[in-house]
């Protein structure tokens, strides 16, 4: 839940006047999104989301993110579309922040994940990968293998506060991932953060995907592994093989996974688990007292990591 | 900013199915409102606000609040209207909380108060008082004179953490208010919390008033005094006589204030300042670490209290 920057009346009026979207009828901060400030903006023309990009998003990356959404939407993929001002520019400034208006996407993100949602997200992820395949810009994934050791080193001195021995366990896992990380997998634009709150559904079908602010160029199968972790574990920690099978088969139906990609999935899932564990651990140890955003439990991902450490092949994910 | 309770998919679907408002198209937590959880609910029929009433609101009071909104709207006063289910009932339960759907009100609350806003709020407050005059229910103001001593006693032991000598200064002021509090003023339904974020404007005119969850039966002039404090001080602490004059004269034009009410205003303004000072002080001393809501500065209202202590008559408010 997040509104970090409020917008003064005159600033909003001057900003919106740069667009051809009519007068503002309503403007409300939205309690979603952890990284940026998001507002529902209703004008005479329709509903939009106005985002102010806060300091965790690098301004240099914004043309990639906005360009990607425009590219995907042009390919028929349902995602927010950046709205351009009369001068043709989508990325502007407001209240001292980079800011953009995107179209409002209907649908609800699922609070309680059912198998049908996992089927839906599998298909949507494959369509996203196909639609983004010819997007011409590149952005390195700075939260992949090379980024994990600095995160671990930053968190290690106090990791024992979260769990005794945690730093040592993660260091050993990182050694193994560095030795065995899959290379030369098919790659392209990945979402890299496709958690349930970023996927909207209507009538059990995906109506759209939001929040492309971790998108980057990386192995498609790594994105699949992120979704296995984000969608297929139950609240009690159990891995739901039915959900995983639906996610993987519906992905495969829209973008076939090669044998090499299938074989890489357990290692990619371990890496994905470590990635979210490390960023959550860092946030847990470093969130300011009185922060608006409650940090997420890092140990949820230690549990997921250990599950994938025990996986020998994709049979454990319901395939084969 | 507040979403304290999230709503599961099935619970929302079952809840909305009790109404004749079509299927849900979008559902987003709103980062406004400190007391309750508020969601933008868009359905095939239109836009609504869904509120889950959290523990600071007494369930017994909800029929008063919802009945008042319905009464005011029927009189033509622009405020959210409770939407009834097919069974004719507006107050239901959702996710373990009392809950209601109200209509969505267009407009923006002003972030930077201009004189035109003070004129607008003066007129709107008077119209609210007139429209509510024949509302048949009563609700005592438990945050008026009788409620302040318990609040002060709860905050006094640690008040020095906020400012040395604060408890003693407030105790002396409360003695004076108890001795001289105006009685027998014209009374009826008052809003009791008409701060800028509860008043929406379009084109510099009031488009609606929201958040009736402090509304109660008390002196109309006390509501005026609350607005003097909430709307007429600048960020640097200066009292803006022009704004006060506009607020009071526009109020008077729609509901004439008697000489007795005018004479009572300085004392009522001191009481109103003490009321918000005490609740802010209590919240400041008692908010949990890591709370979503950042407590407001109590000392802003100490400054306002001292200003009104120096006021001899309404000439200081720009009149006479």
Domain boundaries, chain A: 9-103, 115-317
* Residue B180 and residue B274 in contact, taking contact as beta carbons nearer than 8 Å: no
Total residue count of chain B as it appears in this document: 320
Q: State both tokens at A286.
A: 């470093």
Element (H, E) at A102: strand A97-103
pLDDT for position A286: 85
Q: Report the CATH number of the A9-103 domain.
A: 3.30.200.20
Q: Do B108 and A27 touch (CB under 8 A)?
A: yes
Q: Does any CB of chain A come closer than 8 Å to the CB of residue B12? A: yes
Task: Name the class of domain A115-317.
Answer: alpha beta
What's the Rg (C-alpha) of chain A?
20
Task: Tell me the chain B residues in contact with residue A12 when contact means C-beta distances shorter than 8 Å.
Answer: 108
Residue of A110, A117, A85, A103 whose CA lies nearest to A42 = A103
User: Is the torsion defined by CA of A143, A144, A150, A154 positive or negative?
Assistant: positive
What confidence tens digit (pLDDT) does each residue in B273-320 have? 999 999 999 989 987 655 555 678 899 999 999 999 999 999 999 997
Residue of B161, B159, B137, B133 whose CA lies nearest to B278 = B159
Report residue A133 CA to chain centroid gap: 18
Q: What is d(CA A261, CA B14) in angstroms, rounded to the nearest whole number?
A: 41
User: Which of B6, B8, B9, B47 should we substitute to test contact with A (largest number of A Cβ atoms within 10 Å)?
Assistant: B9
The structure's pTM equals 0.89
Residue of chain B nearest A38, judged by CA positions: B31
pLDDT for position B293: 58
Q: Does any CB of chain A come closer than 8 Å to the CB of residue B6? A: yes
Q: Does A34 have pLDDT greater than 70?
A: no
Element (H, E) at B279: helix B259-286
Q: State both tokens at B231.
A: 């709307």
pLDDT for position A290: 53
Q: Do A107 and B291 touch (CB under 8 A)?
A: no
User: What was the ipTM of the complex prediction?
Assistant: 0.84
What confidence tens digit (pLDDT) does each residue in B164-222 have? 999 999 999 999 999 999 999 999 999 999 999 999 999 999 999 999 999 999 999 99
CA distances from B241 to B69, B190, B201, B221, B253 (A): 32, 24, 22, 18, 18
What confidence tens digit (pLDDT) does each residue in B228-273 have? 999 999 999 999 999 999 999 999 999 999 999 999 999 999 999 9
Q: Does any CB of chain B come closer than 8 Å to the CB of residue A29? A: yes
Compute the average pLDDT of residues A79-98: 96
Tell me B161's DSSP state. T
What confidence tens digit (pLDDT) does each residue in A159-218 have? 999 999 999 999 999 999 999 999 999 999 999 999 999 999 999 999 999 999 999 999
Q: Do B40 and A28 touch (CB under 8 A)?
A: yes
Q: Does B123 have pLDDT greater than 80?
A: yes
Helix, strand, coil % in chain B, rounded to nearest 5? 45, 15, 40
Q: What is d(CA A265, CA B226) in angstroms, rounded to the nearest whole number?
A: 62
Q: Does any CB of chain B come closer than 8 Å to the CB of residue A289? A: yes
Q: Does A231 have pLDDT greater than 70?
A: yes
Q: How far is B200 from chain A (nearest CA, A)?
A: 9
Segment among A159-168, A291-300, B19-28 with least mean pLDDT: A291-300
Tell me A297's DSSP state. P
Compute the average pLDDT of residues B4-32: 93
């Amino acid at each position: 839940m997040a509104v970090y920057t409020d917008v003064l009346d005159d600033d909003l009026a001057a900003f919106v006047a740069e667009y051809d979207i009519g007068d503002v009828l309503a403007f409300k901060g939205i309690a979603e999104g952890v990284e940026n400030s998001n507002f529902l903006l209703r004008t005479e023309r329709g509903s939009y989301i106005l985002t102010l990009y806060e300091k965790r998003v690098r301004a240099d990356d914004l043309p990639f993110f906005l360009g990607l959404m425009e590219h995907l939407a042009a390919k028929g993929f349902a995602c927010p579309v950046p709205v351009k001002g009369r001068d043709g520019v989508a990325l502007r400034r407001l209240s001292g922040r980079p800011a953009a208006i995107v179209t409002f996407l209907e649908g609800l993100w699922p609070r309680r994940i059912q198998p049908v949602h996992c089927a839906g997200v599998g298909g949507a992820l494959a369509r996203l990968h196909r639609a983004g395949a010819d997007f011409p810009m590149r952005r390195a994934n700075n939260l992949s293998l090379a980024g994990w050791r600095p995160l671990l080193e930053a968190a290690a001195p106090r990791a024992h506060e979260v769990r005794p021995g945690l730093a040592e366990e993660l260091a050993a896992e990182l050694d193994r991932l560095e030795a065995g990380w899959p290379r030369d997998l098919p790659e392209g634009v990945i979402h890299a953060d496709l958690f349930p709150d970023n996927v909207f559904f209507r009538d059990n079908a995906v109506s759209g995907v939001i929040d492309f602010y971790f998108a980057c160029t990386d192995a498609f199968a790594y994105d699949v592994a992120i979704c296995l972790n984000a969608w297929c574990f139950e609240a009690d920690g159990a891995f739901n093989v039915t959900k995983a099978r639906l996610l993987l088969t519906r992905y495969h139906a829209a973008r076939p996974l090669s044998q090499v990609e299938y074989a890489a999935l357990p290692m990619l899932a371990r890496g994905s688990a470590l990635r979210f564990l490390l960023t959550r651990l860092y946030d847990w140890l470093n969130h300011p007292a009185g922060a608006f955003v409650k940090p997420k439990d890092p140990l949820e991902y230690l549990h997921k990591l250990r599950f994938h450490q025990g996986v020998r092949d994709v049979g454990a994910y319901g395939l084969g």
